[in-house]
Structure 1
């Protein structure tokens, strides 16, 4: 079985050095290696985990299409729907039968399930080792982070392909691959998948609760979020990893998806950590600096980011060849307030007059090279919505606080209704998540029309669901009954 694993799923050895704070992910795969040799030493397990993080920066995954590519095109952030030659033109019109759309969706599916498979390979080998094989608490870090990544990947696939929880929580939709096997994993109901995700996250969170340096006072120093400590590289730079706070934030996201009030509790834990100094709001001065040194991702607010030094090269490869490739659709409708510094400094008008995001601009390494996966502002939005009925005053205060920290003054009426409050939260989500692939899921969860600026698009439930790749249906025996009559 061990040999078969390495034939089907490639685990890479990475040249890890301590010469750079970002070195452990700024590397190139060197060779496919024998599993027994790879896992004969603790360093092999570390390298395998680094490899999974790196695989997630692939363009088919969070390097493009799970963030600023496909998922943001579906959220109508860009005017690609006007360019019939754009790769995502048909997808932006929710035509998933188009060959370009099908290729993007198929590769997204395959890449993310390949990363999941490698999580399972790593967990399989970890199960054969005693914690004493590793130094200190390293075993806990390895198991917890790998489980958390498996949960993260499954959850985004669920949000992309399956009906929303509100629409049909019992739909038989995706496989949850929680072990490595040469057999096809059967489809599970959405409710079953969510429970498995939460089981993984509960376990991971418990493991890290007493050992994660991200909970120590030293983590309040922003330098420690992203810099690798020489000689102690595996347990530092925790913001690049599924740390305790990232797992807590992801649990808030999952419960929010379910409409479960526990989302409020988990989100508030992270918010309190922010107030305690672990994730302070970004000052306007940090984003108003000259572009080369601008904090384009508001990095101190990020709970978890993928370390991808090449993201700006990839971003500019799209924009340099076609200046309007990812032109933001109606910037003024997104940022109507002239006081909102996100409009002023995180969106620029390029030399040809097109408005583009600078979230992945080529800036100094300590401020760029990051793909945001979970951020503090999302916790404010989750807590505000989840807590509205039971903690209305607190909920209103959370939205006001978030807006104040983006330069927007003004109070929200205490008589506001839940529906109108959700509209205000949605406006804020639209402003926060450019380039991060989160907004389409927000619309889908609530069943809201998708905002295109001057108009909105009302989607059918089936249009909110990416179709399974044809090979999964034809050869994997998958069914999409949840799309029938939709």
Structure 2
């Protein structure tokens, strides 16, 4: 699956579905060119929607990059013991087994295909300029496109490249960074060089969105419930850009900039902690706190095999969970609403399982960024220089989850432990714990000894055989 084979096709499958038959009315699908797709504003909106649709595919954020593969290798799911289980080989870090390889190759190819579509949008936007667009839509579409390109490359780096603190990070080539639609893959870059390009794209996105995105109270554009600018929480909006900047800067080791980005979201007061009453009423995603999420209309179907207890005597099957004892150890208190409201227990099979993603079709979505993660980033940035402020950030989340505030006497090392525990609880099924371990280059993941072989996923065979810059 060479990248150049992916990049030759500039138009995704969604353009040829029933919902987009207008394209078929113009020319046979093999003859469609960019000028037809991007002839007007609606064409750009449709193309951008196509990128988002790609992201919610099961092989990407619709499963593998959230509650599936990445959570398995982060040891958030630990009851995988039989070779017949879907995630057995990833769970033991056997990335070369066919069962693992199909998932890692799917992630790699799926992301670069979406990046190619995104680059097609960006190149046409920059060539056309704003004349085809109404109001602020040109800047919003371009800002989202740059932000999405940064997001996808960043997560590819976190999987297929070495950690910034790994001993060989300065010399080993990680992944290529595509900034234009091309049939020739650019050379692979080091982790530091990829991060520079991610940061540059995020700066471009921020410049486009900061004054005009309706999500911000300071925006010159009023919020709306109709048209392209509605539902900004389902798009890479301005605060999603700031949240991603916080993640990226922390990964790069720049705590000062990570803290500034995190605080810009926290202090905006746009997002507030979900009241317990809404959670007990079924608000399992704490929707008020979601900065960016992706709709997933087939969520119920997708999660049935993974978060539903099997029949008595049928074995655990592909259920993704951990033992009841582990749940108790991680959550510490049964009053924690993340335990009492986001898990279920089947007395017949004695299996505790997550109900976090059990949502109605109308509200089903995949969390991408939530407010609480920014509290954890702020706490980590401050735990050495200002431990009291760090504790305040952590305790704010804990109190909102019906857990007592932390003692003010904790040391920085103890604060680090509490941050880790919060990642386990708060971001379960959201795919962030593996990256936490990797960012710190931890020698173990939940008791398993790990190193480069476990932290760096193998590139598809033909990528290493045919190039992309080699090592």
Q: Which TM-score applies when normalising by structure 1? A: 0.86
Aligned to 1:396: 391
Out of 413, 416, 421, the position equivalent to 2:408 is 413
In the alignment, structure 1 residue 425 sits paired with structure 2 residue 426: no
Report the CA distance shift for 1:434/1:133 in structure 2 as closer, same or farther (over 3 A). same
Aligned to 1:270: 265
Give, in angstroms, the shift of residue 420 of structure 1: 2.2
In the alignment, structure 1 residue 325 sits paired with structure 2 residue 310: no
SS in structure 2 of the partner of residue 383 of structure 1? helix
Report the CA distance shift for 1:124/1:324 in structure 2 as closer, same or farther (over 3 A). same
Report the CA distance shift for 1:71/1:13 in structure 2 as closer, same or farther (over 3 A). closer
Asked if the contact 2:59–2:107 (Cα under 8 Å) also holds between the matched residues in 1, the reply is yes
Asked if the contact 1:259–1:386 (Cα under 8 Å) also holds between the matched residues in 2, the reply is no
Out of 431, 444, 461, the position equivalent to 1:470 is 461
Aligned to 1:357: 354
Aligned to 2:108: 109
5 Å-filtered alignment, 1:187-198, equals 187-198=188-199
Report the CA distance shift for 1:43/1:364 in structure 2 as closer, same or farther (over 3 A). closer
Which structure's relative contact order is higher, taking Cα pairs within 8 Å and 6+ residues apart?
2
5 Å-filtered alignment, 1:19-34, equals 32=29, 33-34=32-33
Give, in angstroms, the shift of residue 152 of structure 1: 0.2
Give, in angstroms, the shift of residue 177 of structure 1: 0.7
Asked if the contact 1:12–1:47 (Cα under 8 Å) also holds between the matched residues in 2, the reply is no
Out of 289, 295, 302, the position equivalent to 1:314 is 302
Report the CA distance shift for 1:282/1:450 in structure 2 as closer, same or farther (over 3 A). farther
Out of 301, 306, 311, the position equivalent to 2:289 is 301
Give, in angstroms, the shift of residue 441 of structure 1: 0.3
Aligned to 1:343: 339
Name the CA distance, whole Å, in 2 between partners of 1:423 and 1:371. 27
Out of 242, 251, 258, the position equivalent to 2:252 is 258
SS in structure 1 of the partner of residue 162 of structure 2? coil
1:376-420 Cα shifts (integer Å, max 9, x gaps): 111000000012223222111111111111111133233x33222
1:437-477 Cα shifts (integer Å, max 9, x gaps): 1110001111235554xxx2221232111111112111235
Name the CA distance, whole Å, in 2 between partners of 1:6 and 1:457. 38
Name the CA distance, whole Å, in 1 between partners of 2:111 and 2:218. 35
Aligned to 1:19: none
Asked if the contact 1:327–1:354 (Cα under 8 Å) also holds between the matched residues in 2, the reply is no
Aligned to 1:285: 277
In the alignment, structure 1 residue 145 sits paired with structure 2 residue 144: yes
Aligned to 2:96: 97
Asked if the contact 1:472–1:478 (Cα under 8 Å) also holds between the matched residues in 2, the reply is no
Give, in angstroms, the shift of residue 13 of structure 1: 5.8
Give, in angstroms, the shift of residue 339 of structure 1: 1.9
SS in structure 2 of the partner of residue 165 of structure 1? coil
Give, in angstroms, the shift of residue 131 of structure 1: 0.8
Aligned to 2:367: 372
Aligned to 1:239: 233
Aligned to 1:459: 450
Give, in angstroms, the shift of residue 139 of structure 1: 0.8
Asked if the contact 2:212–2:219 (Cα under 8 Å) also holds between the matched residues in 1, the reply is no
Give, in angstroms, the shift of residue 8 of structure 1: 1.5
Give, in angstroms, the shift of residue 271 of structure 1: 1.1
Name the CA distance, whole Å, in 1 between partners of 2:357 and 2:41. 34
Name the CA distance, whole Å, in 1 between partners of 2:291 and 2:57. 21
Give, in angstroms, the shift of residue 217 of structure 1: 7.4
Aligned to 2:313: none
Where does the alignment leave 5 or more consecutive residues of structure 2 unmatched?
Answer: 311-315
Aligned-residue RMSD, C-alpha: 2.5
SS in structure 2 of the partner of residue 210 of structure 1? coil
Asked if the contact 1:287–1:296 (Cα under 8 Å) also holds between the matched residues in 2, the reply is yes
Give, in angstroms, the shift of residue 163 of structure 1: 1.0
How many residue pairs match? The answer is: 446
Name the CA distance, whole Å, in 2 between partners of 1:468 and 1:260. 28
Asked if the contact 1:241–1:305 (Cα under 8 Å) also holds between the matched residues in 2, the reply is yes
Asked if the contact 1:256–1:263 (Cα under 8 Å) also holds between the matched residues in 2, the reply is yes
Aligned to 1:24: none
Report the CA distance shift for 1:43/1:473 in structure 2 as closer, same or farther (over 3 A). same
SS in structure 2 of the partner of residue 315 of structure 1? helix
Report the CA distance shift for 1:10/1:353 in structure 2 as closer, same or farther (over 3 A). farther
